[in-house]
Amino acid sequence: MATTPALSEDLLAKYEPVIGLEVHVQLLTASKIFCSCSTRFGDPPNTNVCPVCLGLPGALPVLNRKAVEFAALAAMALECRINEVSIFARKNYFYPDLPKGYQISQYDKPLAEFGFIDIDLNGGKKKIGITRLHLEEDAGKSLHEGFADSAHKTAIDLNRTGVPLAEIVSEPDMRSPEEAYEYLTRLKEIILYTGVSDCNMEEGSLRCDANISVRRRGQKEFGTKTEIKNVNSFRFVKQALEYEIERQIEVLESGGKITQESRLYNANEGKTYGMRSKEQAHDYRYFPEPDLLPLVVDEKWQAAIRASLPELPEARRQRMMNDYGITASDAHTLTLTRAMADQFESAARTAKNPKRVANLVQSELLGRLKAQGLELEQSPISMAGVTASADLVESGAISGKMLKDLYDLCFERKQDFPALYEAEGRPEQSRDTSALEKLADELIAANPKQVEQYRAGKKTMIGFFVGQVMKASKGQANPQLANEVLTKKLEG
C-alpha cells in the first residue's frame, strides 16, 4: 500500500490536483515499424535485430503499413481526427538502449488529434480530452538484473527497438487519481476492443507516464507538474498520484517550489523519487526525419480503416441493455472483453431468457471464478453452457439449488455444463406434487387474510404464497410447479 504523508482533510481540500496521462501502447504488428524484424516478445535477447533497428549508418527505414492502420484505428476509436498528412520527426537523445541516438517519432504534425474518452464518475459522465495520438518506435530494454553475473552490470536487449508504438496524450483534464484510474481502464478497454494491442502491462505493451500538478482551488493557472515515469499497473498509477499530490502540497505549504522533473514510483515503499530534471521539448532538437516521406492517410484509406472499426464497449453496453433487457451492471460485466461479449450474445440469441443467462453469469459464475483465481476466459463453463443451464432452470427441469450443485461439479471436474449434465444422467427435479400439495394446504390454512385478498381479485398474492413455499422448502421446490399447485388450490 501507498504510504502517504498524512495531510489533514482541510489541507487536501485547499488544493486541486491536475492530471494528464501519456500512454504508450505497443501495436500488434508481426514486424517492426521500419524494418522486417519480428516483434515477438520473449525471444532470446538481440536476436530480432537488423541494420535498420540497430541504427547502423546508411540503413534506411521503410514504414510498416499495418502499423499506420492500427494506430489510425485506435485513433478513430478514441474519437480523434486523423491528419491526412503527418510528419515523422527525430527526437534526439542519448541512452544506451537507443543505438541510433534518436527515436523516430512524430512531433508537431501527429497522425491524429482532438479525441476524447467518456469516463464514468459516480453515476455521471465526464469527457477527458485526448490531445493527440502519434506513431513512434520503441527503444530497447536495459536489464539490470536477472541475467548471469548481473552484479553491477547492465545488459541491453535490442529486440524491442523499433517495435511500433502509439503514444496517446491526454489533456490535463483529470482532477483526481480515481479519474486517472477510470480513464486508463476505459482507454485499455477501447484499445483491446480494436484489437490493435494486447495491452499486456507485464510485458510492457501498455505503459503509462502520469503528469501531475496541484493548484489552490479557485486558481486559474496550472501549477508546475512532475512526471511519474513508467508505472506498471493502474493501481500503482493511482497510488503514485495519491502520494505525489500530498508531497507537492507539503512542498508548497512549507514555502517551497515544485521543480519540473521526472520521478520514479517505488511501489514497495509507496513513494516517488526524483529521477532527473525534465527535458524541455527544445532539448530534443526535434527535426523532420529526412529518411521518411510525409505520411499521407487520404480519405479513401481512412474510410477503409474506419470500416474495420468494431462496435465499441460503451455503445455495446447500451445496445445489449436494450436488446436483452439486462441491467447496466450485467452489461458491464459481460462486455469486459470483446470475446466475452461475443460469446454472451451468440448464446443469448438462442436462450429462452437472456436475462437469466446474464444473471447466472453474475450470481453463479463470477464468484466461483474469483474463488479459484480464474479469468472469465478460463471458465470451465462456457457461455453456451451457462445458456443450457439457464434454459433448464427456465423450463423448471432443474431447481436453482440443483444448478448450484451442478456448477460446483463443473468447477471440480473442469467440465462444461452440457457434458457434465449428460454425465450426471440429466437429473431433473421431482414433479411429484404430493409434498407440495401438503405444504400448500398448510400455507392456505395459516394465511387466511392473504387467501381472502387473492380470492377478492388480488392475483399478485400468488407471489407471496410461492415465496412462502420456497422459504419452507429452503429453495428446493420448483417455483413453477409450486405456482401451478397453489393456483389450483386458491382458485378451487
**How far apart are CB 113 and ligand ADP at their closest, in Å?**
13
Q: Which amino acid is at 163?
A: V
Among Zn ion, ligand ADP, none, residue 39 binds (CB under 5-8 Å by kind): none
**How far apart are CB 171 and ligand ADP at their closest, in Å?**
5
Q: Is 261 in the site for ligand ADP (CB under 6 A)?
A: no
Candidates 164-172, 308-316, 318-326, 414-422; binding stretch for ligand ADP (CB under 6 A) = 164-172
Residues between 172 and 231 with contacts to ligand ADP, criterion CB under 6 A = 172, 211-213, 222, 225
Task: Measure Cα distances from 256 to 248, 252, 275 in Å.
Answer: 9, 5, 19
Q: Residue 210 gets which letter from DSSP?
A: E
Look-up of cell digits 437469466: 356
| Residue placing its CB nearer to ligand ADP in the complex, 169 or 410 | 169
Among Zn ion, ligand ADP, none, residue 212 binds (CB under 5-8 Å by kind): ligand ADP
Residues making contact with Zn ion (CB under 5 A): 35, 37, 50, 52-53
**How many of the chain's residues bind ligand ADP (CB under 6 A)?**
15
| Residue placing its CB nearer to ligand ADP in the complex, 211 or 272 | 211
* CA angle, residues 437, 463, 492, in degrees to nearest 5: 45
**How far apart are CB 37 and Zn ion at their closest, in Å?**
3
Q: How many CA atoms lie within 13 A of 85 on its CB side?
A: 3
Strands 261-266 and 226-231 come out as parallel
Cα torsion 484, 487, 490, 492: sign:
negative
Q: Is 305 in the site for ligand ADP (CB under 6 A)?
A: no
DSSP notation for 119-155 = EEETTEEEEEEEEEEEEEE---EEE-SSSTT-TT--E
Q: Is 18 in the site for ligand ADP (CB under 6 A)?
A: yes
Task: Measure Cα distances from 86 to 29, 92, 135, 191, 304 in Å.
Answer: 20, 19, 10, 22, 18
Which residue has the CB atom at the shortest distance from ligand ADP?
20
| Residue placing its CB nearer to Zn ion in the complex, 43 or 84 | 43
Q: Residue 461 gets which letter from DSSP?
A: G
Candidates 15-23, 138-146, 239-247, 265-273; binding stretch for ligand ADP (CB under 6 A) = 15-23
**How far apart are CB 210 and ligand ADP at their closest, in Å?**
9
| Residue placing its CB nearer to ligand ADP in the complex, 171 or 428 | 171
- Residue 43 dihedral angles phi and psi, to the nearest 5°: -70, 160
Q: Is 169 in the site for ligand ADP (CB under 6 A)?
A: yes
Task: Measure Cα distances from 123 to 49, 119, 328, 459 in Å.
Answer: 49, 10, 11, 37
Cα torsion through 364, 365, 366, 367, rounded to 10: 50
Q: Which amino acid is at 481?
A: L
Q: Is 285 in the site for ligand ADP (CB under 6 A)?
A: no
What residues line the site for ligand ADP (CB under 6 A)? 18-22, 169-172, 211-213, 222, 225, 281
